[in-house]
């Protein structure tokens, strides 16, 4: 069943078109990777799904409803630099903030909210650090806090914006396993990433993006032809990128 549906999306920022004719469906249980060069519009696509960017045209629906009506069903893990880590707040309170849309602005969280926070902290292995100020955390711990904050909302759709940037390999592997498990439990997971090798090995589908969806398919399908990779990344037939994917000129 399709959980996230994007159709005919066009976005203009600063007087220029950064996305056009974007169509993308993500079903429950899928782990989809958005890959493409810098400036391709990947993060803008995620922000459009969130409703943070108003499209010039097109439609974004979650569970068959427009996003503004079901925003609480979407969890978002931003890039780490977007969070104010110097703000004097504990790990637990940072994760509790992820419940705001379910609780409602100005309302006090209830027992279900506190249980959701504890479950999210346990899921990412941060329960023992719940009282630690977020400013004292390592890079990997900070990333897990952002994931827990998104999971606390109990989302049907999970959006991940470059979740592995700056992380060591063990942390990347732990998070990759977690994201795959979350998809396996029935969530629709959509991730932007520059780690092509990792995406090819872990994602159930890949979308090659460069202002629009250039190609969409399973890793196995997309590794049969260099043409969509060349179109998405703007590289020639002798590119090291293609050679790394096993698609270079023999």
> What ranges do the domains of the chain cover?
2-217
∠ Cα 199 78 98 (to 5°): 120
Mean pLDDT, residues 174-188: 95
Q: Predicted confidence band at 185 (pLDDT cuts at 50, 70, 90)? A: very high
Helix residue ranges, H only, 51-138: 91-96, 100-103, 111-123
pLDDT at 128: 96
- Strand ordering across the sheet containing 157-161: 74-77, 157-161, 188-192, 31-35, 205-209, 213-217
Residue pLDDT, tens place only, 35-69: 999 999 999 999 999 989 999 999 999 999 999 89
pLDDT at 105: 61
pLDDT, averaged across the chain: 93
Asked whether residue 117 carries a pLDDT value surpassing 90, the answer given is yes
How many CA atoms lie less than 13 Å away from 190 in the CB half-sphere? 31
Contact 35, 206 (CB under 8 A): yes
pLDDT at 249: 62
Using N-to-C axis directions, what is the helix angle for 139-151 and 111-123, rounded to 10°? 140
Contact 92, 117 (CB under 8 A): yes
> Of all residues in the chain, what percent are helix, strand and coil, respectively (each to 5)?
40, 25, 35
More confident position, 182 or 99: 182
Q: What is the CATH number of domain 2-217?
A: 3.40.50.300
């Amino acid at each position: 069943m399709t959980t996230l549906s994007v159709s005919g999306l066009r976005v203009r920022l600063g007087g220029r078109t950064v996305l056009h004719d974007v169509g993308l469906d993500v079903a429950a249980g899928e782990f989809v990777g958005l890959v493409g060069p810098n400036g391709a519009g990947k993060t803008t696509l995620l922000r459009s799904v969130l409703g943070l960017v108003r499209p010039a045209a097109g439609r974004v629906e979650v569970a068959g409803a427009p996003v503004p009506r079901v925003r609480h069903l979407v969890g978002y893990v931003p890039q780490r630099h977007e969070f104010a880590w110097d703000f004097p707040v504990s790990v637990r309170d940072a994760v509790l903030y992820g419940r705001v849309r379910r609780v409602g602005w100005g309302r006090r969280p209830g027992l279900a909210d506190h249980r959701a926070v504890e479950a999210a902290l346990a899921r990412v292995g941060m329960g023992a650090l719940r009282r630690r100020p977020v400013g004292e955390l390592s890079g990997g711990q900070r990333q897990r806090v952002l994931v827990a904050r998104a999971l606390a909302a109990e989302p049907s759709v999970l959006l991940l914006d470059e979740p592995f940037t700056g992380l060591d390999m063990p942390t990347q592997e732990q998070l990759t396993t977690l994201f795959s498990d979350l998809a396996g439990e029935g969530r629709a997971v959509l991730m932007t990433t520059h780690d092509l090798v990792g995406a090819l090995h872990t994602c159930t589908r890949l979308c090659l993006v460069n202002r629009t969806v250039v190609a969409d398919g399973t890793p196995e399908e997309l590794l049969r032809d260099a043409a969509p990779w060349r179109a998405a990344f703007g590289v020639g037939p002798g590119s090291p990128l293609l050679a790394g994917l096993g698609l270079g000129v023999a």
